[in-house]
Structure 1
């Protein structure tokens, strides 16, 4: 196993920035010696660029639009998210983080790794590139894909249709799988910030990613979805304890990206994000002990939430529960700095399998996988009581129910498990399936009755720079795979 060329703490202090107002260092554009950046430095830079996007802007947008969090009446930073009216310019940094910072470095890993026969680096970078492309197309719809990442050879790549991109994603994962060799002595070590070069875990990640790619099409194109899912039948998915994540710590420059943003110099520990009643009411209804894992109680030990988007009618200064340190969202708890950023979790893998089984596309017991997903979520946050929780009326898996009822239970529990830790994925699954079915329109919405955010707006910089960019869509327009 190779060792990283620089101590990991030193590397992270270079490639991770503390606030969302700045971007990661793009080491491909280093004016001193860009062409000679070695693969073992490119990989952690790419991984950190991706987790920065997931843990910062996407965590905030996903957290609000999944109705885990809402704007504090005592502050104002994220009111536009509750109003469903973000400025297109607000999406520029996260577009840059994913497409330029992360994916350009991943592409360099692939190019240089092939040239130097560091094929496990190539496999990891190819998987993360597929993950990043799926993340980008799920957020924005049509994006550059077939002509993307060509550098100065093509600075105005065409925008591909999402339906075509999904074909390419499945093929990209297959390419990576063909390269994975756990016995390759040239695999990375600590320079892989996610799995530390464990290629068996990356293989499980690959199978799970392909399962997720297939299921995204389940309602739009069931035959195509079933075919993709069928290719991973009998494969091993992310196992218990194999959650794909990047860890952080309290050292400056190495903090959780969300905490770095909300506790940094710009926001200066102003607590904008508070508990949404949509989620807290659901947890309370079923006496869900994860409530204390995902939210901090007020002074008397109780949990208080406000309706989504009620910042204009709430009382400034009134006590409201805030996200827990485990989510990275508590601006005044330094433990937030150490919250990990999660790409795919073991409980997500269980819920994906449960859905595929419920649809008849994988063999197995959908109810057992559903319960396993609940258990893994409880376990991840050190919470007991999953068995009694899962046996309750309204939570117990509807064994005799319709496919839609089974999927509804699965996605609702996936949403509960992702509270504060995979918000952007929870929002995407709601857009795909309509579950949970109890979301309310934000009280602050200004986009019309019955409308929700359905897609990110293209950054202004992209619309003005690339003449091949499509016209700007509305925030309530749906992406191609969305049928709900």
Structure 2
């Protein structure tokens, strides 16, 4: 049996981290299931919950800052806005959210199902979530450990797979998940917390996302994405939506951050101005007495993404339709219907009145790439900020102006960051693999591009 190790945090550091919105005691269940005697179905909710926290917690907020949806107003968030983003910024995400969190759970579920030949659908679900977690991790860092990352005490210094290999692994996992869900599973219910009835359709949607991310690397990426879109789900109601608990202990991390660190992070003026004349603006932000736009205001239930119970799509129907619109444009088709459907899906999801949707759609007359990506950038706010950063690095839209104070030792060119830095724990405890990954990627700076998005 493999032995998995967790870091035991000293008491004084534990006290500090107990107020952390992402990985403190408000987010990690002290009775986290684990061990060979716990059923896979019992592990599923913990794995899903942590995955959806990963999407919208520290990494998501950082992506929102660098793509100018958020701006730091106080404390550490000001430094992040100036691209002073050190190695330690995402250490908790890497260590506790991913590699001893959701991805470890996925790996455990897959391994145990393989060993017993049972829980085929649960294994398929774990593969879908492993793929999504790998996508998030590689989008943030580039090359990452995967192939030998979950061997426990058998390998405490895993090598890094190249980003090209990670994208291939993502597609293989999703293909295997589709095959798993195509089989009969006598074990019955999955025990999952996401109201998606067709996980095969969800896997196809994710395949479309990760094909589309490779438009700079694969000349056939758009055709592949279109093929997958045709097999994916077809409405908001069919989307894989995780519902956070409406409580401080189980709430949406963005709302938790707003409660725990009020006004340290506000809406960036760029995003504020972009949302003028958009009926979603009052659902996304609210002005304070000084005129600054806030993403969170205690007691303001109009702010869709700032409630403890705010949902988290694994991939939304709106994102799927934006992928379709872009893929159609790139392959010579007409993206207009898909674009309008994408905007409509997002507005309906957050509760915009039909008349306001119709009025706004009449103002969206372009079907060029910039229009598609800017509309997608608006729609991904609050739900998938890393996807907006991916689109920016891949297409150059929206046309962001880098922070004039953004040049520093980790970002010497001063450009909008192209990646995040590996956590210092990797530099200190997995040195050889870490250095090989840095060498493979041409450096360890925020302005070093990653394979998927480099020119």
TM above 0.5, one fold? yes
Q: In structure 2, what is the equivalent of residue 320 of structure 1?
A: 292
**CA 323–27 in structure 1, closer or farther in 2 if over 3 Å, else same:** closer
8 Å Cα contact 2:405/2:414 also seen in 1: no
> Would you say 1:442 and 2:443 are equivalent positions?
no
Q: Following the alignment from structure 1 to structure 2, what is the Cα–Cα distance between the partners of residues 108 and 140?
A: 23
The alpha-carbon deviation at position 241 of structure 1 amounts to 2.2
The alpha-carbon deviation at position 336 of structure 1 amounts to 2.0
1:413 to 375, 381, 384: 375
Partner secondary structure for residue 70 of structure 1 = strand
Partner secondary structure for residue 314 of structure 2 = strand
1:298 to 268, 288, 310: 288
1:459 to 407, 423, 447: 423
What CA deviation, in whole Å up to 9, does each residue of 1:373-416 have, x standing for no partner? 01011111111322322222xx3233xxxxxxx22221111101
What CA deviation, in whole Å up to 9, does each residue of 1:182-228 have, x standing for no partner? 86453435x311236x2x1x1111011111111111122213x2564
Q: Following the alignment from structure 1 to structure 2, what is the Cα–Cα distance between the partners of residues 381 and 333?
A: 7
Q: Following the alignment from structure 2 to structure 1, what is the Cα–Cα distance between the partners of residues 305 and 378?
A: 25
Q: Following the alignment from structure 2 to structure 1, what is the Cα–Cα distance between the partners of residues 229 and 247?
A: 43
Q: Could you state the TM-score of these two structures normalised by the residue count of structure 2?
A: 0.85
8 Å Cα contact 1:204/1:239 also seen in 2: no
Q: In structure 2, what is the equivalent of residue 401 of structure 1?
A: none
Unaligned runs of 5+ in 2: 1-17
1:386 to 357, 362, 369: 357
Partner secondary structure for residue 63 of structure 2 = helix
Q: In structure 2, what is the equivalent of residue 369 of structure 1?
A: 338
8 Å Cα contact 2:285/2:296 also seen in 1: yes
Alignment map for 1:58-69 (pairs within 5 Å): 58-69=59-70
Q: Following the alignment from structure 1 to structure 2, what is the Cα–Cα distance between the partners of residues 349 and 343?
A: 11
The alpha-carbon deviation at position 172 of structure 1 amounts to 1.4
Q: Could you state the TM-score of these two structures normalised by the residue count of structure 1?
A: 0.80
8 Å Cα contact 1:18/1:253 also seen in 2: no
Q: Following the alignment from structure 2 to structure 1, what is the Cα–Cα distance between the partners of residues 230 and 241?
A: 25
Partner secondary structure for residue 51 of structure 1 = helix
**CA 334–148 in structure 1, closer or farther in 2 if over 3 Å, else same:** closer
Q: In structure 2, what is the equivalent of residue 99 of structure 1?
A: 99
Partner secondary structure for residue 391 of structure 2 = helix
Q: Following the alignment from structure 2 to structure 1, what is the Cα–Cα distance between the partners of residues 47 and 38?
A: 12
**CA 382–233 in structure 1, closer or farther in 2 if over 3 Å, else same:** closer
Q: In structure 2, what is the equivalent of residue 176 of structure 1?
A: 177
Q: In structure 2, what is the equivalent of residue 130 of structure 1?
A: 131
**How many residues end up aligned between the 2 structures?**
422
CA RMSD, 1 decimal: 2.9
Partner secondary structure for residue 468 of structure 1 = helix
Give every structure 1 segment of 4 or more consecutive aligned residues whose post-TM-superposition deviation is greater than 6 Å: 26-30, 332-335
1:423 to 373, 377, 385: 385
Q: In structure 2, what is the equivalent of residue 6 of structure 1?
A: none
Higher helix share: 2
